[in-house]
Amino acid sequence: MYDNWEELEKSIINCKKCKLCQNRTNIVFGTGNKEADLMFIGEGPGADEDKQGLPFVGKAGKLMNEAFKGIGINREEVYIANIVKCRPPQNRVPEQDEAEACLNYLRNQVILVKPKIIVLLGSTALKNILGKEYGITSARGKWLEKKGIKYMPTWHPAALLRDENKKIEFWKDLKEVRKELDK
């Protein structure tokens, strides 16, 4: 584990811990306030993210930005990262060995940020952070706590693009997060 951002970021620059490194344009490390009370964790970079080297800049990211605006969250005030730092081919779900190769980077990011709340965006984030026994459909919208951090599992913004009905639940979940932040 690294004690500072500079060392952590340097440690990942030439990462070849899994096969995802073979086709990446950029490592998508994370972005935002490195001392945020609120952190968002998604699955992995898509094509736009791979191109720009930043998480959530494509269609799902634009949708997330709109939700942020709607509940009064400034994107620059939160920290955003993913389970894997390189794009899986065809945006498929990261395989277990790929996720495991990246998890220590993410754990280190969480340790350095010290968030009070982490929003887990989708099943991949939920299962890799809190455990395989969790399912996004049953855990979504329910506060979970582990090691002094509150977790809110919710739909991944990409799921909202596929199923409009999930937008209402996503919105409700983010409003709960806003309420908890305001306490």
Give the three-class secondary structure for 32. strand
Q: Measure the CA–CA gap between 16 and 19, rounded to whole angstroms.
A: 7
User: How many domains does the chain divide into?
Assistant: 1
**Torsion angle (degrees, nearest 10) of CA 156, 104, 111, 169:** 10
pLDDT in tens, 72-124: 999 999 999 999 999 999 999 999 999 999 999 999 999 999 999 999 999 99
Q: Measure the CA–CA gap between 71 and 62, rounded to whole angstroms.
A: 15
103, with CB counted inside 10 A (0-12, 13-18, 19+), is middle
* CA 97 vs CA 53, 94, 103: distances in Å: 22, 8, 10
Q: What is the pTM of this model?
A: 0.97
Tell me the pLDDT band of 7, cut-offs 50, 70 and 90.
Answer: very high
> What is the extent of the structural domain holding 155?
5-182
Kindly report the three-state secondary structure assignment for every residue of 73-119. Answer: CCHHHCEEEECCCCCCHHHCCCCHHHHHHHHHHHHHHHHHHCCCEEE
Angle, CA 161 vertex, CA 124 and CA 173 arms, to 5°: 60
Tell me the CATH number at 130.
3.40.470.10
Tokens of 77: 């005030």
pLDDT in tens, 37-85: 999 999 999 999 999 999 999 999 999 999 999 999 999 999 999 999 9
